[in-house]
Amino acid sequence: MSNEAKLELDGKVFTLPTITGSEQERAVDVSSLRANTNFITLDDGYGNTGSCVSKVTFIDGDKGILRYRGIPIEELAEKSSFIETAYLLIYGTLPTRPQLKQFSDTIAEHQFLHEDMKYHFQGFPAGSHPMAILSSMINAASCFDEGLMNWHEGKARFDTYVAKLISQVRTIAAYSHRQSKGLPLMYPKQSLKYTPNFLHMLFSMPYEDLEIKPEVAKALDLIFLLHADHEQNCSTSTVRMVASSQANLYASCSAGVCALWGPLHGGANQAVIEMLEQIHREGDDGSKFILAAKDKTSGKKLMGFGHRVYKNHDPRAKIIKKACDDVLSKLNINDPLLDIAKKLEEAALKDSYFVERKLYPNVDFYSGIIMRAIGIPVEMFTVIFAIGRMPGWIANYKEIMEEPKTRIYRPRQIYTGRTENHYVPLDERK
Ligand code: SDX
């Protein structure tokens, strides 16, 4: 296997090095292309372009493989927890018992926000989308801790901010929901673990202790875990883009929240439920909608289907589909949207349009149904995704900061606009 690529341009042959990763993925390293040939590469949507080398997560889209630091997602889903998996992603290995306790204790220590932050929440009108509040308040949180601007002063300080952000994104998210519904903010409860505490802050009312069903907390913890990282997706690439300018951790992750919000990315779970509700409302068994999703002029897509990398089943979708059945039967819920989703999946997987384009259910196709079953409001679905993805964003941020060779991300372009022309005074313009 050659470790060089030959490129012929204008009759001249250039040699470019190649790189092979630990899973035998191969790339042509074009870092020297422009200096030696005056050409750049162009790759709309970066479908063929690696922005970095990374040790955090590996996906094989053809085989439907997803591993966090080499451990298959199926094993973590069955045996781990969200916080333990967060540690694995950020620090590279599963924590020992003392390490896990230290990490969990630091997260618990920082579960409260600075009390003055509540005045910022009160500034948002009821009905504000919680993703807008979340991205703003993550950045706002950095104003209440002057040390954050000097986050790079030592590992201990960085580790504190890692745990603090994982803890506070959950508190901010719960407060975002409460504020958007005009409800009183519910403080965290020191006696509760990460995910039950989030459910408490989301749903408890003053002077009433919410009964948190273990199966509900377990289902949500699994959803967080399955969303924890996913290579260089749109939002993680955004975090790395901002981090490459040496911005602080909170600023970079706040930018990640904004990128995740889009309906083609993290907003898809909300879009899936809205799609299923529309199908149910119209009395369609899904067949009409499938026809529309195949018709480019309809402006409709089968939300929760398709993926830039997976050209086979998204392993997370398989795990969530099974969890769906488990949770709904344990909670004794019979949701017509689940039946519609299963019919849509069955029909699409037999339909040549989807088969030819290798469009399979992705992580978002069933996740919304579980969240709906445990009472999460649909506008909070992408916020749940953001809480889950926070460890992946932090792990990628840390990778950038620890790589001395990291340069600021600054892609080139091919200009296709007007060539040189000159200023025309206002009265002479036609
Ligand atoms: C996530 O990157 C990640 O890792 C993301 C994520 C993560 O964990 O971070 O996995 C989470 O964002 C999952 C994706 C959630 N989004 C959706 O479910 C929205 C619906 N899906 C599509 O918009 C689309 O499949 C994307 C955005 C997911 C992928 O888009 P691509 O790779 O740019 O694919 P494409 O748009 O070029 O589609 C190729 C073809 C096109 O048809 P042709 O031009 O070849 O005729 O497939 C069609 C598309 O029209 N197509 C769909 C479709 N998805 C693609 N047609 C109908 N319904 C769909 N859902």
- Per residue in 356-413, pLDDT tens? 999 999 999 999 999 999 999 999 999 999 999 999 999 999 999 999 888 999 999 9
Write down the residue that tokens 């981090």 correspond to. Answer: 243
The CATH superfamily holding the domain 268-315+326-373 is Cytochrome P450-Terp, domain 2 (1.10.230.10)
Using the mean position of ligand 1's atoms as its centre, give its distance from the Cα of residue 357 in Å. 10
Task: Report the pLDDT value the prediction gives residue 154, as an integer from 0 to 100.
Answer: 67
Alpha carbon nearest to ligand 1 atom 28, residue: 307
Between the CA of 122 and the centroid of ligand 1 the distance, in Å, is: 37
Q: Which neighbouring-strand residues pair with 39?
A: none
φ, ψ of residue 268 to 5 degrees: the values are -65, -30
Where does residue 38 rank: exposed (0-12), middle (13-18), buried (19+ CB within 10 A)? exposed
Shortest-distance atom of ligand 1 to CA 236:
9
Whether 305 is in the pocket of ligand 1, judged by its Cβ within 6 Å, is: yes
Give me ligand 1 centre to Cα 190, in Å: 41
CA 305 to ligand 1 center in whole angstroms? 7
Burial class (CB in 10 A: 0-12, 13-18, 19+), 352: exposed
Residue 25 has pLDDT above 90, yes or no: yes
Residue 320 has pLDDT above 80, yes or no: yes
Q: Where are the domains of the chain?
A: 4-50, 73-260+397-402, 268-315+326-373
Query: pLDDT higher for 126 or 193?
Result: 193
Dump pLDDT digits (tens) for 91-105: 999 999 999 999 999
Q: How far apart are CA 363 and CA 313, in angstroms?
A: 10
Is the minimum distance from the CB of 148 to ligand 1 under 6 angstroms? Answer: no
| Catalytic residue, candidates 307, 314, 325, 326 | 307
DSSP 8-class letter at 114: P
Residue 57 Cα to ligand 1 midpoint, Å, equals: 20
57 in Cβ contact with 230 (< 8 Å): yes
Phi first, then psi, for residue 320 (nearest 5°) are -70, -35
Residue 83 pLDDT more than 90? yes
Catalytic residue, chosen from 295, 364, 422, 427, is: 364
Ligand 1 pocket, 303 CB below 6 A? yes
> Which residue type occupies 347?
A
Does the C-beta of 265 come closer than 6 Å to ligand 1?
yes
Contact 34, 40 (CB under 8 A): yes
Which residue has the CA at smallest separation from atom 1 of ligand 1? 265
Is the model more confident about 195 or about 181?
195
The CA-atom distances, in angstroms, between 348 and each of 244, 375, 415 are 41, 28, 40
Q: Which positions ≥6 away from 258 have C-beta within 8 Å?
A: 131, 135, 238
With pLDDT > 90 as the criterion, what percentage of the chain qualifies? 91
Between 87 and 144, whose confidence is greater?
Answer: 87
C-alpha of residue 75 to centroid of ligand 1, in Å: 27
End-to-end CA distance of the chain: 62
Cβ of 315 below 6 Å from ligand 1: no
Q: How far is residue 74's CA from residue 66's CA, in Å, rounded to a whole number?
A: 8
Sign of CA dihedral 40, 44, 47, 51: positive
What pLDDT is attached to residue 66? Answer: 98
Paired strand residues for 9 = 12
Ligand 1 pocket, 264 CB below 6 A? yes
CA of 212 from ligand 1 middle (Å) equals: 36
Select the CATH number that applies to the domain covering 4-50 from these four: 3.90.550, 2.20.28, 2.60.40, 3.10.50. Answer: 2.20.28
Asked whether the predicted pLDDT for residue 142 surpasses 80, the reply is yes
Q: What is the mean pLDDT of residues 52-74?
A: 97
- pLDDT score, position 356: 96
Exposed/middle/buried for 250, CB within 10 Å: 0-12, 13-18, 19+? buried
Does 389 sit in the ligand 1 pocket, CB within 6 Å?
no
The protein residue with its alpha carbon nearest to ligand 1, atom 54, reads 306
Does residue 364 line the site of ligand 1, with CB under 6 A? Answer: yes
Question: What does the block give as tokens for 88?
Answer: 């694995």
**Which of 141-155, 188-202, 260-274, 275-289 shows the lowest per-residue confidence on average (mean pLDDT)?**
141-155
Residue 165: closest CA among 137, 138, 200: 138
Mean pLDDT across the stretch 280-291? 93
Query: How confident is the model at residue 156, as a pLDDT?
Result: 72
330 lines ligand 1 (CB under 6 A): no
Nearest Cα to Cα of residue 388 among 201, 219, 159, 202: 219
Whether pLDDT at 155 is above 80 = no
Q: Per-residue pLDDT averaged across 329-344, rounded?
A: 93
pLDDT band at 223 (very low <50, low <70, confident <90, very high): very high
Encode 394-428: b = buried (16+ Cβ within 10 Å), e = exposed. Answer: bbbbbbbbeeeeeeebeeeeeeeeeeeeeeeeeee
Instruction: Say what the pLDDT of residue 210 is.
Output: 83
What ligand 1 atom has the least distance to the C-alpha of 266? 12
Q: Compute, in degrees rounded to 10, the torsion defined by CA atoms 178, 158, 108, 121.
A: -20
Please count the CA atoms within 13 angstroms of the CA of 363 that sit on its side-chain side. Answer: 27
**Of 91, 218, 393, which Cα lies nearest the Cα of 100?**
91
DSSP 45: G
For residue 308 and ligand 1, the question of a CB distance below 6 A is answered with: yes
Q: Is 364 a known active-site residue?
A: yes
**What does pTM read for this prediction?**
0.95
* Atom 13, ligand 1: residue with shortest CA distance: 265
Q: Are strands 12-20 and 4-9 parallel, antiparallel or unpaired?
A: antiparallel
* The pLDDT of residue 152: 65
Task: Give the residue, by CA position, lying nearest to ligand 1 atom 42.
Answer: 357
Residues 108-126 have a mean pLDDT of 93
Distance CA 314, CA 65 (A): 8
The C-alpha angle 189, 398, 219, rounded to 5 degrees, equals: 40
Which CATH code, of 1.20.950.20, 3.20.20.70, 1.10.580.10, 1.10.620.20, is assigned to 73-260+397-402? 1.10.580.10
